[in-house]
Amino acid sequence: MRSNSESFVLRGARLVLPHASIDADLLVEEGRIGRIFERAPEDSQSIGEALNLNGLTLFPGFIDVHIHGAMGADVMEASADELHTVARFLARNGVTAWLPTLVPAPDEDYRRAVLAVEELMCGQDQTTTPAAARSLGVHYEGPFVNEGQCGALRTKYFRVYDKRSALDFLPIVELEDAKRMITLAPEVDGGIELIRELRTRGFVVSIGHTRADVETLDQAFDAGARHLTHFMNAMSPLHHRAPGVVGWGLTHDEVTCDVIADGVHLDPLMLEIVLRCKTAKRTLLISDAVAPAGLGDGEYGVWNETITVKDGRTSNERGSIAGSVITMRDAVRMIRNLKVSDQEIARMASFNPAKLLGVETECGTIEQGKRADLVALDEEGNARLTVIGGRIAFNDLQK
Ligand SMILES: [Zn+2]
């Protein structure tokens, strides 16, 4: 089986297009979606080899904007090679792009981690590198967040913003098109000013790990924050006399949010409330996976603490949930059980994340001319084929 190819046809799948699902064939050509045909000519040798996807549903590849690692590798410590191992694991789970996510740490650790991501990104499109989920940049979760909502983050590295400081300790990936995202609490000292400064530096600003009141949230919105990180987790909860971040988020249609749909971080009923208020148009799926993802139950060292994974649930020594061990594929499987349409799933797992990062003209939907970033799922929600930039990154069609 070819692993990278000039052109090939994906035959017989149900294609999840933005507004409908159709049974059709799809031509992958020069890394892009070349054509969508009702039925490619039987004798299609002229346009390339055909792969039979009968019985499978073809989604745009999933994009995970919040993930700390997998297969034992943590983004804060991993080398570029180890990050590539994470990216290969993600590809096996239908993820075609990701945003390695950093946690509060000493400056030196930030620098090292960002350099490793940069090295990964320099090599990831070369045909000599096995195809894997493409890193799009970095996501800083913190360090400008609220100690009272720290979750599993290490509070000793939290910061407030002093406009005299130059933000130099926050390195960015120095590559054209590299994306940068940050999760912050607008109520930290200097928070609103910080949002303005980060927006001018091209950051996507998301609100999270926060206890901000509605007035502060309105100011944050005006300053350019338009998104909420792991909505409902690590933020003050909804109270009938203090609607707080959750009440504000549920009622502001201009604000998008992401959720960890692992059945642990959010009760399914809360997930339903989010979907009713925000709808699939404004909701993204994330994994928030940590390094033990993909390794099963056990005890693992993460962020200088021992994290226990039991029955798919993480906990640290302080008793907090410490991220998830799911992939986007698991989140999609769970959402599928909520009787959400395939269009809505594609929106939450692919298009909305692409739009948040400003890459939606390039990827995030199955449309002619877009990057061939695709995943074929079977009825049980297993990934059977993942194509990234027109290269086959994972193939389990023979099973
Ligand atoms: Zn996280």
Overall average pLDDT of the 326-353 stretch: 95
| 57 has pLDDT over 60 | yes
Residues with CB under 5 A from ligand 1 (ion): 141, 288
Distance, CA 283 to ligand 1 centroid (Å)?
17
74 Cα: distance to centroid of ligand 1 (angstroms): 12
Residue 3 has what pLDDT?
A: 43
How does residue 367 score in pLDDT terms, banded at 50, 70 and 90? very high
Residue 4: pLDDT band with limits 50, 70, 90: very low
Residue among 25, 64, 74, 288 flagged as catalytic: 288
Strands (E), 145-239: 179-184, 204-207, 227-228
Q: What is the number of helices (H) and of strands (E) in the chain? A: 9, 22
Q: What's the Cα-to-Cα distance from 71 to each of 136, 191, 313, 368, rounded to whole Å?
A: 20, 35, 16, 34
190 burial level (CB within 10 Å; 0-12, 13-18, 19+): middle
- Domain 7-57+380-395 sits in which CATH superfamily? Urease, subunit C, domain 1 (2.30.40.10)
CA geometry: angle at 328 spanning 100 and 59, to 5°?
Answer: 115
Instruction: Count the Cβ atoms, other than its own, within 10 Å of residue 240.
Output: 6
Rounded Cα distance between 161 and 190, Å, is: 5
- Name the token pair of 151: 């979750």
Say whether pLDDT at 301 is over 50. yes
Q: What pLDDT score does 274 carry? A: 97
pLDDT at 307 over 70: yes
How many whole angstroms from 355 Cα to the centroid of ligand 1?
20
pLDDT in tens, 60-69: 999 999 999 9
Mean per-residue pLDDT over the chain, rounded:
94
| DSSP assignments along 227-261, one per residue | EETTTTTTBPPPBTTB-HHHHHHHH-TT-EEEEE-
Cα-Cα-Cα-Cα dihedral sign, residues 300, 303, 305, 311: negative
Phi, then psi, of 232 in degrees rounded to 5: 85, -25
**Cα(152) to centroid of ligand 1, in Å?**
8
Q: Give pLDDT tens digits for 119-168.
A: 999 999 888 889 999 999 999 999 999 999 998 899 999 999 987 666 87
Burial code (b: 16+ CB inside 10 Å, e: under 16) for 12-51 equals: bbbbbbeeebeebbbbbbebbbbbbeeebeeebeebbebb
pLDDT above 50: residue 295: yes
Give the separation between CA 235 and CA 362, rounded to whole angstroms. Answer: 33
Q: What was the pLDDT predicted at 399?
A: 55
Radius of gyration of the chain (CA): 21
Are the CB atoms for 293 and 95 separated by under 8 Å?
no
Distances (CA, A) of 6 to 3, 29, 62, 178: 10, 6, 23, 26
Coil, strand or helix: which one is 200? helix
Predicted confidence band of residue 1 (pLDDT cuts 50, 70, 90): very low
pLDDT of 110 reads 96
List of residues 6+ apart from 27 with CB closer than 8 A? 7, 8, 9, 33, 34, 35, 36, 37, 40, 47, 48
Reported for 42-49, long-range contacts at CB under 8 A and 24+ positions apart, including other chains, are 44/9, 47/7, 47/9, 48/5, 48/6, 48/7, 48/8, 48/9, 49/2, 49/5, 49/8, 49/9
Domain ranges across the chain: 7-57+380-395, 62-363
Q: Which structure tokens are listed for 338?
A: 């909520």
Q: Cα(286) to centroid of ligand 1, in Å?
A: 9
Of 163, 144, 148, give the one whose Cα is nearest residue 104.
Answer: 144
- Residue indicated by tokens 């019985």: 55
Any idea how long the chain is?
Answer: 399
Would you call 25 a catalytic residue per the annotation? Answer: no
Is the per-residue pLDDT at 273 higher than 50? yes
Q: Does domain 62-363 have CATH number 1.10.3720.10?
A: no
Q: What is the pLDDT of residue 41?
A: 65
pLDDT of 282 over the 50 cut: yes
What phi and psi, each to the nearest 5 degrees, are found at residue 282? -120, 15
Task: Report the separation in Å between the CA atom of 116 and the middle of ligand 1, taken as the mean of its atom positions.
Answer: 19
- pLDDT higher than 60, residue 5: no
In this prediction, residue 44 has a pLDDT band, given cuts at 50, 70 and 90, of: low
- For strand 374-377 and strand 57-60, is the pairing parallel, antiparallel, or unpaired? antiparallel
